[in-house]
Chain A
Amino acid sequence: MTCDEFHRSYLEGDVSTEREAHLRGCADCQRVTPELDVLRARLGDPAVWEPPGPELRTQVVGAVVSAARPATVSPSVSRRMMRRWLIAGAAAALVVGVVAASLVLIPSRADSADWELTLYANRASPGAVVEVQGWNTANGTHLRVDVDGLAPAGPNEYYAIWMSSISGQHVPAGTFRESGRIESWSGVTRADFPRIWITLEPDDGDERLTGATIADTPGW
């Protein structure tokens, strides 16, 4: 038995006389055995395997974009970087849920929206009503999405709100799992990203747009 074979055998939990014989005669493997024990124990540790929520990346990036950092970079450079980043489709400028609540001033009910839109639900969501209100801000768009009559997402799914440009660039603008009011924020404008739509996405850690359309802007 070689040292590599011993390592594999140890991690597999096999107990054989051949393995024990190798260990007795191999100082290198005797040294590495405590680390193999740690590795084997940690491979069963839930902390190592539990995944973060699929929206965390978007929240992290959105929060960073929203945060005012005393940068030395000129505003024009920042805007150029932002544009390149958006075009790359890298989930630009999004704050949802808790982030939105903590970082964005949410308009009160009395504030009239800059625009309103009713999405049409397709055959995958019969009876669903999705109304969107938007406020144009200096840093993007605040969205208030009221969803009614939409079945709750399954345990391995979630609904995603998107803003898309005419050229087909998609920017995530929030997630939710069931009907109700969703307050979210996107770093892009309705003028540049006129299409607002909702998809049902698999909760598989892939934040790209892959799911089925649930509701869409009329005319798209």
Chain B
Amino acid sequence: MSAHSLVARLRNGDPDAVGRLYDEYGRRMFAVAYKALGDRSLAEEAVQLTFMKTWQAAERLEPDVEIGGWLYTITRRTAIDLYRRESRHATVSLDAEIVALPTTFEDLWQVWEVRSMIDRLPEGERAVVESLHYKRQTMQETADELGVPVGTVKSRTHRAYGRLASLLGHLREETA
């Protein structure tokens, strides 16, 4: 389903559109919120609030709105609001540390973009990139974990890097 038709369904009050938006953008929204807040439950709250705001505002959305960019912006703003809320309610010991959002807009945009790129990888390639970069496992450890030969890990890695490199170009984009 195209983003345009998803927005149309959202504007018409179809709740299924929200589920589909979550499937498409939920993971990267959570990534941005988690980067901003550093807390899983707060990040999930930010995602949920963002969808509620989107639902409430859907009738006012322009039909040709770039919904991904819109969701990114609302997620970021919602996360900042939650951060401020938590800062106000933080204990005295925390107040000294919480003086400003510890991440920059550039950080958040990069997380959004890189997560978007990862979402476009086939599952097998995503798994090897996660293993090598996030879990910091070796090729052999990755092969053992995924139950595939080392040669398969290498070929998937090779293809994944090629795809990721081809998707470069947005990482310096101006933040919204």
Which residue numbers of A lie inside 8 Å of B, CB to CB?
A: 4, 7-8, 11-12, 32, 34-36, 38-40, 42-53, 56-57, 59-61, 63-65, 67, 69-73, 77-78, 81-82, 84-85, 88, 90-92, 99
Contacts and interface: CB of A to CB of B under 8 A. Distances in A.
A69 B47 CA distance: 18
Given A12-B161, A49-B130, A81-B15, A42 B30 contact: no
Nearest to A40: B133
Contacts of A67: 52, 55-56
A77 B9 CA distance: 12
Contacts of A61: 15, 18-19, 22
Given A7-B162, A57-B22, 6 more contacts: A35-B171, A39-B171, A43-B114, A47-B32, A71-B59, A81-B14
5 smallest beta-carbon distances between A and B, as pairs: A7-B165, A47-B35, A43-B133, A42-B114, A73-B13
Interface string B66-85: 00000000000000000000
Contacts of B172: 34-35
Nearest to B159: A8
Given A35-B172, A47-B35, A85 B161 contact: no
Contacts of A45: 35, 111, 114
Contacts of A59: 44, 48
Q: Size band of the B side of the interface?
A: 35 or more
Where chain B touches its partner, the secondary structure class is helix
Contact of B111 (A32, A47, A77): A47
B118 interface: yes
Given A61-B18, A73-B13, A90-B16, A36 B165 contact: yes
B162 A8 contact: yes
A53 B27 CA distance: 10
A8 B14 CA distance: 43
B79 to A, nearest CB: 11
Contact of B26 (A44, A56, A81): A56
Contacts of B115: 48
Q: Which has the most chain B C-beta neighbours within 10 Å: A7, A46, A49?
A: A49
Contacts of B48: 56, 59-60, 63, 99
A78 to B, nearest CB: 6
Nearest to A47: B35
A70 B15 CA distance: 14
A45 B134 CA distance: 7
Interface in B152-176: 157-158, 161-162, 164-165, 168-169, 171-172
Contact of B16 (A51, A63, A81): A81
B165 A8 contact: yes
A65 B56 CA distance: 11
Contacts of A73: 12-13
A99 B134 CA distance: 31
A52 B14 contact: no
A43 B22 CA distance: 22
B7 interface: no
Given A43-B134, A52-B44, A85 B15 contact: yes
A77 B15 CA distance: 12
Contacts of A40: 133
Contacts of A77: 12-13
Interface in B90-121: 110-111, 114-115, 117-118
A152 to B, nearest CB: 19
A81 B110 CA distance: 37
Contacts of B27: 51-52
